[in-house]
Amino acid sequence: MSEAHWESIKNSANADMKQGHYAEALLKYEDVLSGLESVNAEANPELCAMLVACLNNSSMAYLHLQRYEQCVITCTRGLNIQEDNLKVS
């Protein structure tokens, strides 16, 4: 899949978040995360930024859904990729 494909899904998830549809957004973020991880996104700066953004947004969705353990796990994943990530630290 192309970067544009993943960006489109991420944007749809972002719209879901803005509307308070956190569970729906999570499904989309998980789809993007799965796809990006399968292509080793950390090696590509643009894809890595998208990966971290999806992790940040996923953790916020987990927080809204009161799934605190998964929120912490997702934040930790983001910090393991980008230690200076202010949105999750």
- Tell me whether residue 10 is in a domain: yes
- 88 belongs to a structural domain: no
Q: What is the pLDDT of residue 3?
A: 85
Residue 15 lies in a domain: yes
Residue 38 belongs to a domain? yes
pLDDT at 41: 76
Q: Tell me, yes or no, whether 47 lies in a domain.
A: yes
> What is the domain count for the chain?
1
Quote the pLDDT of residue 42.
77
What confidence score (pLDDT) does residue 34 get? 92
What residue spans of the chain are helical by DSSP H? 3-18, 22-38, 45-64, 68-81
Cβ contact 33:62 at 8 Å: no
Which CATH number belongs to the domain containing residue 49 in this structure? 1.25.40.10
**Contact in structure between 6 and 32 (CB atoms under 8 Å):** yes
Mean pLDDT for each consecutive 10-residue tract of the chain (89 residues)? 90 98 97 88 85 95 97 92 67
d(CA 26, CA 44): 23
In a domain, residue 66? The reply is: yes
Sole residue written with tokens 């009161």: 66
**Is position 89 within any domain?**
no
- Give the domain range for residue 23: 3-81
Tell me whether residue 74 is in a domain: yes
